[in-house]
Structure 1
Amino acid sequence: MQSFDIIIIGGGAAGFFSAINIVEKNPKLKVAILERGKECLSKVRISGGGRCNVTHACFVPNDLVKFYPRGEKELKGPFHQFCSGDTIEWFEKHGVELKIEEDGRMFPVTDSSQTIIDCFEKAVQKLGIKVYTSQSVQSLFYKGDVWKIETQKDQFQAEKIVVATGSNPKIWELLQQLGHEIVSPVPSLFTFNIKDIRIKDLMGVSAEVSVKVKNSKLAASGPLLITHWGMSGPAILRLSAWGARELFDKNYQFSIQINWLKDQNFEEVMEVLQELKLENAKKNIDKFCPFALPKRLWESILMASGIQLESKWADLNKKQLVKLAEELTAASYQVNGKSTFKEEFVTAGGIDLKEINFKSMQSKLLPNVYFAGEVLNIDAITGGFNFQNAWTGGFIVAENI
């Protein structure tokens, strides 16, 4: 039986950040990390296409929480304690400089996730934190003021434990047996599978759109990317994150409505088209697109509206104009299934947030148990927000321990 003051279960971003901050604040504490896999920080390695999207350049807590479909209300207090600016400062102190990209995402200036991994591994070594890999936790129980942890290899004990296991069903099951309520996990951040003649040969084409799920309040706007399996891009990912539960209940079979012109409505577009018919009567309709749309997309929309590509504007009849305005502002597509967004699988679900004290990240039900990261029912859209939740949780855990 190996004894420690604190054991962190989970060797990912939240686990390492918690451990490092705990020992930096109190070097006398004996701390260990238990990781079930053969190596630690695997999600950090693949994040941001191998560049590691550390955080986002959104520095106001009340604005930052808006990126979290689950956890918005609960994270307000924590983000006032440790926000994106604190993350930048923390990494700078540990020798890692971050840079801001145009869309607000922040990466190490090296553009390599290895920089973050090296930073954590160096800190852990320097602080004497023990890291055990291939240690899958099998049981967890509290006896005589001490937590006993059995893995398939060893036995450990500690006064306090920090659970930072992400979406690990086995740990959720153990916590459920100890009395915690688990909000059942469903996928979040996924792309839509759509087979439709209108987008068949448009892979790689993107446009600024607004999109909504029919017969639902779900709506989002932003860039949409056409892929060989359907649709992706920020607008679709936002829709999937906010609609994670609703779309799961629909078994990923539903219709979406796309406005390819984002903010213009049917009436406004009809007006524009009628003016164009008069002013550009002799121009070829496929050569003169009045909207900021990629050429291939414009041609596809024309064909879907029953318009020959070599037609002149003057040739269009009222019926064709109406159909074109509809295709531009309210095109309907059937979604049949989903695909995971890259390898960065995000789950909606986890420990029910009402059972957590967000001032300390401590369990309200179990003595000396703390939580950090996605083990909780908190998730965000892409852009560094899930990592920011991990850093904030880890920092607060350390402060309180």
Structure 2
Amino acid sequence: MKIIVIGGGAAGFFTAINIAEKHPEYNVCILEKTRKLLSKVKVSGGGRCNVTNERSRPSELVRFYPRGSKKLHQVFKRFSTTDMVTWLSKRGIETKAEEDQRMFPMSNSSQTIIDCFLKQAARFKVSILQNETLTALNQTGNQWQVTTTNQIYEADKVVIATGSSPSTWKVLEQVGLAITPIVPSLFTFNIKDERIKHLPGISFAEARVKIAGSKLEENGPLLITHWGLSGPVILKLSAWGAYELESKTYQFDILVNFVGGLAPDEVRKHLVQYREANPKRKVINYPLFDVPKRFWDSIISCCCIASETPFSELSKKQLNKLVEELAQGKYVVHGKSTFKDEFVTAGGVKLSEVDLETFECKRFPNLYIAGEVLDIDALTGGFNFQACWSAGWIISESI
């Protein structure tokens, strides 16, 4: 039997390896359009490869998937994060969980995962052909004809695992599969503002960010960057709000609470109490709410509070402005940037097109789909990879 897996990334390799291991008599081949294999694995987790997440219960896992969450519950019951850790361990790779429950190889190097996949592919005689861009798929009876830029292949079964690929979606549309609109997910916010212009690298352990005029609101760690704002709270907003923010052409206002989500009234009450207890202390010398000193200095300047001003001389206007900047500072977003080198999209082949018991297309027998080419995407933390591992395993079991 000839199995062609299209895509030399995480989902493609994992699927091909498991098929070949279960059925050594099969001819399994990976077609990759570039000269680079497993490139997304290489950059994942800052080069350390955030291979999965410590959370193992499906009911907990699915909460991290803006698209596909409910339908993935049964998928994760069949192949969980724990199963992936075991799979790696059996192949000589031990993993570790960090405080935020992200999991990495003990080596702290993505090359460890890449080497493992390449070794397993060679061990089970998986053929790998590069510079093979998919241009057409045609069903001929129970078989498939795979056309690339170089030649035409015949296959008994085809697995599409190309990740976020406009050219692949175009081919699949031509086959007859329904595709949901494709928009970016997991991106950072571009902001040009004097208050944060000189503060790249400053972070807040817990912030709350709301999209003005929207129900979108998230909390979590926040990071000031050279281009604006990033960190888990921003990435969560970008994922859950992928379609809404795209409709705004990435031009919108946000309200930022830098003080752990404390309500403005609570912030004001704390400031007044501190002023009464420490009237002679200079405001600039005593950053409250555990905010970084450089950020406090910038906000004090923004509020027109002179460096010599003691708390007792704060005017009502200055106090109100300080409360506003700390608890609901307004910032204008004028674009987005890709999060590191990890490009994730929302949208793809509609999940209604696929039988998630097998990941085979319902209307096109012997055509399977795995990974981000499907309308599945997740927050950062190893969740996108886990969706690839689970789908790849189920496909290998089905085939």
- The answer to whether TM tops 0.5 is yes
- Alignment-derived partner of residue 379 in structure 1: 377
Q: Does residue 332 of structure 1 match 2:362?
A: no
d(CA) in 2 for partners of 1:26, 1:210: 51
Q: CA deviation at 1:74?
A: 1.3
d(CA) in 1 for partners of 2:136, 2:271: 67
1:86-140 Cα shifts (integer Å, max 9, x gaps)? 1100000111111112221111111111111111111111111111111111211
Q: CA deviation at 1:154?
A: 2.0
- Alignment-derived partner of residue 64 in structure 1: 61
Q: CA deviation at 1:256?
A: 0.1
- Alignment-derived partner of residue 77 in structure 1: 74
Q: Does residue 110 of structure 1 match 2:101?
A: no
Q: Does residue 160 of structure 1 match 2:161?
A: no
d(CA) in 1 for partners of 2:302, 2:78: 53
* 300, 303, 306: which one aligns with 2:304: 306
Q: CA deviation at 1:240?
A: 0.7
Amino acid at match of 1:141: N
Q: TM-score, normalised by structure 2?
A: 0.98
Q: Which moved more, 1:310-319 or 1:329-338?
A: 310-319
Q: Does residue 222 of structure 1 match 2:220?
A: yes
Q: CA deviation at 1:228?
A: 1.3
* 3, 28, 36: which one aligns with 1:31: 28
* 279, 282, 288: which one aligns with 2:280: 282
Q: Does residue 396 of structure 1 match 2:357?
A: no
Q: Does residue 97 of structure 1 match 2:94?
A: yes
Q: Which moved more, 1:303-312 or 1:106-115?
A: 303-312
1:18-50 Cα shifts (integer Å, max 9, x gaps)? 111112222222211111111311111111121
1:320-340 Cα shifts (integer Å, max 9, x gaps)? 212211111111000011111
Amino acid at match of 1:375: V
Q: Which moved more, 1:210-219 or 1:96-105?
A: 96-105
1:300-337 Cα shifts (integer Å, max 9, x gaps)? 12222221232101111222212211111111000011
User: What SS does the corresponding residue of 2:284 show, helix, strand or coil?
Assistant: coil
Q: Which moved more, 1:78-87 or 1:298-307?
A: 298-307
d(CA) in 1 for partners of 2:270, 2:37: 57
- Alignment-derived partner of residue 292 in structure 1: 290
Among the aligned pairs, what percent are the same residue? 51
Structure 1: gaps (5+ residues): none
Amino acid at match of 1:280: N
1:237-287 Cα shifts (integer Å, max 9, x gaps)? 111111111111100000000011122101111111111111000111111
d(CA) in 2 for partners of 1:309, 1:55: 48
Q: CA deviation at 1:144?
A: 2.6
Q: TM-score, normalised by structure 1?
A: 0.97
d(CA) in 1 for partners of 2:121, 2:227: 43
Amino acid at match of 1:157: E
How many residue pairs get matched?
398
